[in-house]
Amino acid sequence: MDIYGTRLGSRLMLGTSLYPSPQVLSDAVKAAGVSVVTVSLRRESGAARDGQAFWSLIRDLGVRVLPNTAGCHSAREAVTTAQMAREVFATDWIKLEVVRDAETLQPDVFGLVEAARILVADGFKVLPYTVEDLSVADRLVEAGCRVLMPWGAPIGSGLGLNNRYGLRQLRAYFPELTLIVDAGLGLPSHAAAAMELGYDGVLLNTAVARAGDPAAMAQAFAQAIEAGRLAYLADPMDPRDMAAPSTPTFGQAMLGGGE
């Protein structure tokens, strides 16, 4: 998977919140074999001692950090958070989140586009968390985004891909863009379905962090993503409404009644 010219070894990205312990998080990241984890600035700096311990854990994992602007409700707040994250994490990558309300955590598309324009102009490589809408996606591309992260379903819901038609349209409309399904996946089969649509990767958190065995679930998601990608590249058959025999009838003995 390519992110702004950087080639990554894994198509799965993991969030780092909600895990029952730092060791469980570490085990899950290693089991998944991910190249990138997302980190919230709020999580890092919530308490000086806890933040330092968490940052040390992330560094020890040897993976790339993608800071996010989780919890921001305006373009101004998201821009300020991104600029702070660049200083803390020493990266110009930012997962841009601007949400409308705390109930749905649906992206505020107006604030998102505004913040994306400002951050791109400021030298950031922006990965916006967005909806599966062509007009919004087009505005983000015009703003300079070369990666889009449409949601599968509301964050933490585990519902899977709520709008496969919309996701399929995005893939068809932006064939050269890196597209990553972000949020709402609950099962490895959901991730495989996203990859079968031709998506480049998947980002998830809750489905792994809240599993009974996070490391095993992380590994299951990683394998499902590889299977889905391979299926997409294999050019799967088109669905049909009627049955089609898998055994040819030509050359078979035909039974008929005698005189």
User: HSE on the CB side for 104, CA within 13 Å?
Assistant: 12
Give binding residues as ranges: 156, 183-184, 205-206
Active site residue: 43, 95, 146, 190, which one?
Answer: 95
Hunting for tokens 């894994």 — which residue is that?
Answer: 10
Residue 125 falls in the annotated catalytic set: no
Give binding residues for 1-deoxy-D-xylulose 5-phosphate as ranges: 156, 183-184, 205-206
Contacts of 65 (CB under 8 A, 6+ apart): 36, 37, 38, 39, 58, 89, 91, 93
Between CA 253 and CA 193 the distance in angstroms is 42
Between CA 160 and CA 133 the distance in angstroms is 17
Between CA 93 and CA 102 the distance in angstroms is 25
Between CA 146 and CA 94 the distance in angstroms is 12
Phi, psi of 134, deg, nearest 5: -65, -40
C-alpha of 166 from chain center = 16
Which residues form the catalytic set? 95
